[in-house]
Amino acid sequence: MEMASSPRSVEEIFKDYSARRTAVVRALTQDVDEFYGLCDPDKDNLCLYGHANESWEVTLPAEEVPPELPEPALGINFARDGMNRRDWLSLVAVHSDSWLLSVAFYLGARLNRNERKRLFSLINDLPTVFEVVTERKPIKDNKPTADSGSKSRGSAKRSSDGQVKSNPKFAADEGYEEEEDEHSETLCGSCGGNYNADEFWIGCDICERWYHGKCVKITPAKAESIKQYKCPSCSIRRSRP
């Protein structure tokens, strides 16, 4: 087990999360028969660990109290033979997602508010272990990096903390299920028009309203150079004495 003896950056924590997630996903997909066999209900309480070197392990929990890192779900082997195999794997996947998040935010205890937000945004760009195991979303070949964040094809802008802010509806990545009607009620703060995936949108960092780029005279190229966008209304309010 590893312990963060010194402060860690968002990039380091996300790299650690990604490696552990890769290991757990492998255990529950590619190596599933081996994993299933190791989870013998007649053995003591067993846990599924994903390690920072992308290896996985089914073993007893740490003996230290308190442990150096948050521990994964205990006794995953006991329910194996009492459930449908697919349902059991899905249950392990859900607990594994919870464990991966707990480790990431344990390591990020010293992060500030914006850093925590950026860390979660990076994590949220990846399908959960549950989504992969239940085939709700396929595994993405191209992992997001700590510098890329999430970026839609329709529009994107960077906020003051360096995080990429996307348009209300993410353009579906190749191989992903398109989330239809997720933002069908998003209206332009200027003209009141409905969201259209074919149009460029930009979000105000102050009031968090969304606007057609054409309504506020912002092009995609111009948006890339804006660190913090203020819509016309917020710009007027901020300029008043």
For residue 236, the domain's CATH number is: 3.30.40.10
CA dihedral sign, ordered 8, 9, 11, 17:
positive
Count of domains for the chain: 2
- 192 plus 128 within the same structural domain: no
User: Any idea which residue has 């960077």 for tokens?
Assistant: 158
- In a domain, residue 160? The reply is no
Question: Which domain does 192 fall in, by range?
Answer: 188-240
- In a domain, residue 217? The reply is yes
Task: Give the residue from 134, 150, 178 where a domain finishes.
Answer: 134
- In a domain, residue 1? The reply is no
- 194 plus 125 within the same structural domain: no
Q: For residue 118, which amino acid is it?
A: R
- In a domain, residue 168? The reply is no
- 28 plus 130 within the same structural domain: yes
pLDDT of residue 206: 87
Q: How far is CA 142 from the centre of its chain?
A: 14
pLDDT of residue 122: 93
Task: Give the residue from 92, 110, 134 where a domain finishes.
Answer: 134
> What is the C-alpha separation between 15 and 26, in angstroms, rounded?
17
Cβ contact 197:169 at 8 Å:
yes
Helices (H), the chain: 10-28, 32-38, 85-107, 113-124, 129-133, 220-224, 232-239
pLDDT of residue 221: 84
In 10 A of CB 59, how many CB atoms?
11
Q: Which residues of the chain have pLDDT under 50?
A: 1-5, 138-145, 147-180
- In a domain, residue 92? The reply is yes
- 118 plus 195 within the same structural domain: no
- 30 plus 110 within the same structural domain: yes
Give the total residue count for the chain: 241
pLDDT of residue 238: 58
- In a domain, residue 20? The reply is yes
- 25 plus 119 within the same structural domain: yes
Cut 0.85: pTM above it: no
pLDDT of residue 66: 83
Task: Give the residue from 109, 134, 159 where a domain finishes.
Answer: 134
pLDDT of residue 103: 95
Which stretches of the chain are assigned E, i.e. beta strand?
47-50, 56-59, 156-158, 164-166, 201-203, 210-212
Cβ contact 117:108 at 8 Å:
no
pLDDT digits (tens, 9 = 90+) for 81-117: 999 999 999 999 999 999 999 999 999 999 999 999 9
Quote the tokens at residue 31: 């190596």
- 40 plus 107 within the same structural domain: yes
pLDDT of residue 156: 44
- In a domain, residue 149? The reply is no
**Vertex 54: Cα angle to 49 and 58 (nearest 5):** 25
pLDDT of residue 195: 75
- Residue 177's φ and ψ, nearest 5 degrees, are -75, 130
- In a domain, residue 44? The reply is yes
User: Any idea which residue has 């802008």 for tokens?
Assistant: 157
